Amino acid sequence: MRGVHFHMSDSQRARFSRAQQQLLHPTSKLPSSVCVNVSDTIPGYQEEGILKGHGTADLNGEVVATLCGVVERVNKLVLVRTLRARYKPENGDIVVGRVFEVASKRWLVDINFNQAALLMLSSMNLPDGIQRRRTAVDELSMRSMFEENDVICAEVRGFQHDGSLHLQARSLKYGKLENGQLITTSAYLVKRRKQHFHHLEQYGVDMILGLNGYIWVGVHTDVPNLEGQGEEENGSEQSTKSIVKSSGDATDGKKDSTSLRVRENICRLANAIRVLSSLGFSLSLELILDTFETSIDWNIDIKDMLAGEFYVRIAEREAERRCSKSNV
């Protein structure tokens, strides 16, 4: 919670401090993990056959930590998982990024990494959906697909031999994102899950939890099912393939108007994510929706969700939930 900065009264500050102590120092009934600093000896792992993983080293016959974090063990493998870390791309990661340059046969995308990611023209679907070789005409029309400051969703393809990071957008799930908000959070708050595309049908909103810490909340849009794409989508992907517009839709001159209710839902969901991110809570669909619905139950206006009182009440509520869970 080191990043929490908002105005609070003296009483709110005292309440928040009590809730923070409960969250940082849970009861002993909860399962505890071993926290280590650099050069600390990892206790209980001196037996033979132990495999030293990430964040560990062998020193004088003992396993010591080379990072600050939590000790985890998978069978014989011992590793240290850092609590706060920068985003490290892995193959298949779902990321949300912003285009900041259009170059020759490629787009340069900011994905909250220490280097720019490359989305090649050959690594995405063409507007007509036909699988063919890219021509000079396609290269000249690149700005009709993506241009500077466009927000897009893509998948990490991997690092190339020259060290460059490449993306791909060969599915209907990926493409240009419009009519919504981009929320920037710390990447460690978004955990890897089976599903990162969420269509909140009751609110008319789509949400994409990017593993790079960029989260998109926007209007739900339907995407036409191009020939050959439908067979590649499995059951879980078919329900979410309408989240992102195809790049061909970006050239349409007519845009549907968004209702006031949907716009309010987008703003309320975005503020719920900002509150949880500032408090340092892991961002999951369940927790975001719970905070969203709680703000409605408490009759909190959208603008008041970013006030100190709502932060304090959410922190107190989470502390009570964890305490009650530990007493079960």
User: Can you say how many angstroms the Cα of residue 106 is from the centroid of all Cα atoms in its chain?
Assistant: 24
Identify the pLDDT of residue 45: 65
Average pLDDT, the chain: 82
Q: What is the pLDDT of residues 107-161, one digit of tens each?
A: 999 999 989 999 999 888 877 667 778 888 888 889 999 999 999 999 999 998 8
Question: Do 178 and 301 reside in the same domain of the chain?
Answer: no
Which residues are within 8 A (CB) of 308 and not within 5 positions of it... i.e. 6 or more apart? 6, 7, 8, 9, 12, 16
Strands 106-110 and 94-103: antiparallel
Helix (H, G, I), strand (E, B) or coil at 266: helix
Identify the pLDDT of residue 240: 43
Question: Do 107 and 206 reside in the same domain of the chain?
Answer: yes
Q: Establish if 110 belongs to a structural domain.
A: yes
Q: Locate 249 and state its tokens.
A: 């839709």
Look at residue 40 and tell me whether its pLDDT is greater than 90.
Answer: no
> When comparing pLDDT for 42 and 128, which is higher?
42
User: What's the CATH code of the domain at 75?
Assistant: 2.40.50.100
Quickly state the pLDDT bin for 75 (edges 50, 70, 90): confident
Question: Do 162 and 64 reside in the same domain of the chain?
Answer: no
Identify the pLDDT of residue 219: 94
Look at residue 32 and tell me whether its pLDDT is greater than 50.
Answer: no
Q: Establish if 30 belongs to a structural domain.
A: no
Q: Establish if 4 belongs to a structural domain.
A: no
User: Can you say how many angstroms the Cα of residue 155 is from the centroid of all Cα atoms in its chain?
Assistant: 13
Q: Establish if 15 belongs to a structural domain.
A: yes
Strand blocks (E) in the chain: 35-36, 51-52, 56-59, 62-65, 69-74, 77-82, 94-103, 106-110, 117-124, 151-159, 165-169, 175-177, 180-184, 197-200, 205-209, 214-219
Question: Do 192 and 234 reside in the same domain of the chain?
Answer: yes
Question: Do 137 and 173 reside in the same domain of the chain?
Answer: yes
Question: Do 53 and 115 reside in the same domain of the chain?
Answer: no
Look at residue 328 and tell me whether its pLDDT is greater than 60.
Answer: no
Identify the pLDDT of residue 255: 53
Identify the pLDDT of residue 249: 46
Look at residue 74 and tell me whether its pLDDT is greater than 90.
Answer: no
Identify the pLDDT of residue 41: 85
Nearest to 247 by CA among 223, 269, 266, 231: 223
Question: Do 240 and 114 reside in the same domain of the chain?
Answer: yes
In the listed set 202, 230, 250, which residue is the last one of a domain according to the structure? Answer: 250
H-helix segments, 193-256: 235-238
Q: Establish if 88 belongs to a structural domain.
A: no
Question: Do 70 and 101 reside in the same domain of the chain?
Answer: no
By residue range, what is the domain housing residue 286?
Answer: 10-25+262-326
Identify the pLDDT of residue 305: 93
What size, in residues, is the chain? 328
> When comparing pLDDT for 150 and 192, which is higher?
150
Among 35-39, 55-59, 179-183, 247-251, name the most confident range: 179-183
Question: Do 238 and 151 reside in the same domain of the chain?
Answer: yes
Q: Establish if 3 belongs to a structural domain.
A: no
Q: Establish if 112 belongs to a structural domain.
A: yes
User: What's the CATH code of the domain at 144?
Assistant: 2.40.50.140
Least confident of 46-50, 133-137, 250-254, 273-277: 250-254
Question: Do 241 and 106 reside in the same domain of the chain?
Answer: yes
Q: Locate 69 and state its tokens.
A: 């974090």
Q: Establish if 87 belongs to a structural domain.
A: no
Domain count, the chain: 3
Question: Do 142 and 198 reside in the same domain of the chain?
Answer: yes
Helix (H, G, I), strand (E, B) or coil at 12: helix
Question: Do 223 and 194 reside in the same domain of the chain?
Answer: yes
H-helix segments, the chain: 10-24, 136-140, 235-238, 260-279, 285-297, 308-326
Query: Within 10 Å of residue 47's Cβ, how many Cβ atoms?
Result: 8
Are 146 and 176 spatial neighbours (Cβ–Cβ below 8 Å)? yes
